[in-house]
């Protein structure tokens, strides 16, 4: 899980992946630190591969001010795959 303000409302949100799958989910925080609302809206490519992801993080890759999700997939010792979900 990584934290970042994915929707720009000033409150931290949590970006997770399902255990054993390649599905990314965002849980939007309300600023209380106690309540999060799950949404996959804006993640049309969240199913990123047939193998489990090894690592994911958030950062503004394209410099537009919105955090993007960067995923490095693993599972094959020879081939790794880099995916960027640009927002």
Q: How far apart are CA 77 and CA 27, in angstroms?
A: 31
Q: What mask of x and - would describe binding to Ca ion in positions 47 to 66, judged by CB under 5 A?
A: -------------x-x-x-x
Of 8-16, 32-40, 43-51, 75-83, the segment contacting Ca ion by CB under 5 A is: 8-16
CB of 53 to Ca ion, least distance (A): 20
CA angle, 8 then 12 then 14, to 5°: 110
Q: How far apart are CA 8 and CA 66, in angstroms?
A: 7
Q: Using the Cα atoms of residue 12, residue 20, residue 23 and residue 67 in order, give the sign of their dihedral.
A: positive
Q: Is 11 in the site for Ca ion (CB under 5 A)?
A: yes
Interacting residue ranges for Ca ion, rule: CB under 5 A: 5, 7, 9, 11, 13, 60, 62, 64, 66, 68
């Amino acid at each position: 899980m990584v934290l970042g303000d994915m929707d720009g409302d000033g409150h931290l949100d949590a970006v997770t992946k399902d255990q054993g799958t390649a599905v990314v989910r965002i849980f939007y925080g309300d600023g209380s630190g106690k309540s999060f609302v799950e949404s996959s809206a804006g993640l049309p490519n969240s199913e990123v591969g047939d193998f489990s992801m090894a690592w994911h993080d958030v950062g503004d890759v394209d410099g537009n001010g919105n955090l993007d999700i960067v995923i490095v997939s693993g599972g094959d010792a020879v081939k790794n795959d880099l995916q960027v979900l640009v927002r």
